[in-house]
Amino acid sequence: MTDHELQLKSFALRRAMLNLIVGAGAGHTGGGLSCMDILNVLYNRILNVSPQTFGDPHRDRYVQSKGHCVEALYAVLADRGFFPASDLATVCHYQSHYVGHPTRHIPGVEMNTGALGHGLPICIGMALAAKMDAASYRVFTLLGDGELAEGSNWEAGLAAAHYRLDNLAAILDHNTLQISGHTRDVMSNEPLDEKWRAFGWEVRSINGHDYAELTEALTAPSESGKPVFIIANTVKGKGVSFMENVAKWHHGVPSDAELKQALAELDASEAALKEAK
């Protein structure tokens, strides 16, 4: 798929995500929209996983540490054919395994996450297992910038560098917002590039909505055996004007009218992009 085709797909994915959030009556709208392009590139271009090969021990591993944005993951996995899109109508419903955070009950999900600060340590175990087996698969995780306040990330930051896990990439969805507002006001964590570099990682700062930059950052092999920390600068609520950079959309569920407007905006942007080709 070309960048243009992938970008066009992102509109359908965003619409699917908003629809399922409304159907669920709950969800993480802002952070889902901010990481959708990252997931789109990962699952459609980078990860060697598919519904057919998901059981292959040599598959790439993706663990979504910011598990609350499971709705974006559900939309991408359904689009990749891991399960029927009709399943998305059951998210958060009684007796549906599609709960509000990732679980291994769902085809395509590697680990149960949702408590923040767990993904990176798990991925270190996975990357170490790959090294021990001399296997070539890569391991990816997605972190939130608010999530970085969890100390376990920094424990893991030391360990990944110590073990020179060049098969590991941590992607930061750097949307600069968390539940209560700006991360810089809640608990400042900048300069993140210098911090992770000082921890012994190779740091790449990119535009997290740019398909070429995402592809390059997620593909390029690590220099000098270091794990890779990708600071993907994103916009929380990306793609829906009234949700962009507004903290309350962290877990805001659109009303019928808001959904209609959001879908219309996405339709219009999609049409404009088609034109642009």
Partner 1 sequence: MSAPAPSLFTPAAKATAEKLGLKMGRANLEEFAATLEELAKANPNIVAVTSDSRGSGKLAPFGKALPGQIVEVGIAEQNLVGITAGLAACGKKSFGVSPSCFLTARSLEQIKNDVCYSDVPAVLVGISSGTSYGALGTTHHSLHDLAVLRAINNLTIIVPADNFESRQAILAAAKATKPVFVRFGKAAMYGLHKPDTKFEAGKAITLREGDDVAFIANGETVIHAVLAAAHLAERGIQARVLSVHTVKPLDTEAVLNAGRECRAVITVEEHMVHGGLGEAVASALLHAGVCKPFRIVGIPDEETVPGAQADIFRHYGITMEGLSDTATKLLNK
Q: Determine the interface stretch with ligand TPP among 113-121, 123-131, 190-198, 255-263 (rule: CB under 6 A).
A: 113-121
Q: Determine the interface stretch with partner 1 among 10-18, 28-36, 107-115, 210-218 (rule: CB under 8 A).
A: 107-115
Site map 91..110 versus ligand TPP, x via CB under 6 A: --------------------
Asked whether position 72 contacts ligand TPP by CB under 6 A, the answer is no
Among 72, 126, 148, 232, indicate the residue that binds partner 1 (CB under 8 A): 126
Partner whose binding site includes residue 155, from partner 1, ligand TPP, none (CB under 5 to 8 Å by kind): partner 1
Asked whether position 71 contacts ligand TPP by CB under 6 A, the answer is no
Asked whether position 61 contacts partner 1 by CB under 8 A, the answer is yes
Site map 134..153 versus ligand TPP, x via CB under 6 A: ----------xxxx------
Tokens 């996995």 belong to which residue? 77
Q: Determine the interface stretch with partner 1 among 46-54, 79-87, 103-111, 223-231 (rule: CB under 8 A).
A: 103-111
Among 133, 194, 216, 267, indicate the residue that binds partner 1 (CB under 8 A): 133
Site size toward partner 1, by CB under 8 A: 33
Among 50, 96, 103, 245, indicate the residue that binds partner 1 (CB under 8 A): 103
Q: What are phi and psi for residue 175, nearest 5 degrees? A: -95, 0
3-state secondary structure the chain: CCHHHHHHHHHHHHHHHHHHHHHHCCCCHHHHHHHHHHHHHHHHHHCCCCCCCCCCCCCCEEEECCHHHHHHHHHHHHHCCCCCHHHHHHCCCCCCCCCCCCCCCCCCCCCCCCCCCCHHHHHHHHHHHHHHCCCCCCEEEEEECCHHHCHHHHHHHHHHHHCCCCCEEEEEEECCEECCEEHHHHCCCCCHHHHHHHCCCEEEEEECCCHHHHHHHHHCCCHHHCCEEEEEECCCCCCCHHHCCCHHHHCCCCCHHHHHHHHHHHHHHHHHHHHHC
Q: Determine the interface stretch with partner 1 among 79-87, 155-163, 173-181, 253-261 (rule: CB under 8 A).
A: 155-163
Asked whether position 124 contacts partner 1 by CB under 8 A, the answer is yes
Contact 189, 215 (CB under 8 A): no
User: In the complex, which residues of this chain contact ligand TPP (CB under 6 A)?
Assistant: 28, 31, 34, 66, 68-69, 114-117, 144-147, 173, 175, 177-179, 236, 250
